[in-house]
Amino acid sequence: MNWNTRITDLLNIKYPIIQGGLAYLAYSELAAAVSNAGGLGQITAMSLESPEALRKEIQKVKQLTTFPFGVNFAIGQHGRPYTAYLDVALDEKVAVVSVTGGNPTPFFQYLEGSNVKKLVLVAAKRQAQKAEELGADAVMVVGQEGGGHLGKDDIGSLVLIPQVVDAVLIPVIASGGIGDGRGLMAALCLGAEGIEMGTR
């Protein structure tokens, strides 16, 4: 089967599957394993104790894979500053960053002039439209089934994903309640061009 979508093209990956940010779980070994398998692995930045710890994790991933990987920034986590972590990701030339749990406006402003691909986790159609206006390359749409759900409305992924697909022009990545290949196929049928998965 041809798995090519705008997401695989955008992220330079074989399969349209992105590993979730997974606070306190998404370290170098997992990120590299997902990337080596053809998806996009991610390191979670804000679970690490310092920017230098992030640098070490990024460098470990580079030793374990030659494929693209990303760094996730949960910018709302405990109100911790993230710019020093973001400087490390830029300095290490990470190809993709994803942002969750907060207003992405200052995050995007900080990234102005860089070539890094920007993904934003959203839980509502308006959030997706705002992310697109700010310059997101793609949005990850999570319904109430998602772990760490960030929405205020109890909308399931099956309802929310097509709403967002119809509301934005950038690629949509489905998230929340997807546990296997059947979920991937369902997401593609709903108009998404990839999925984000955590643990099951």
> Cα(26)–Cα(177) distance, rounded to whole angstroms?
18
Give the pTM. 0.93
Q: What does the pLDDT look like over 7-59, one tens digit per residue?
A: 999 999 999 999 988 877 889 999 999 999 999 999 999 989 999 999 999 99
Q: Are strands 117-122 and 17-19 parallel, antiparallel or unpaired?
A: unpaired
Higher pLDDT, 29 or 75: 29
pLDDT of residue 110: 94
Contact 125, 132 (CB under 8 A): no
Q: For the chain, which domains are there? A: 6-140 (3.20.20.70)
Instruction: Answer yes or no: is pLDDT of 152 > 70.
Output: no
Which two three-digit tokens encode residue 28? 């170098």
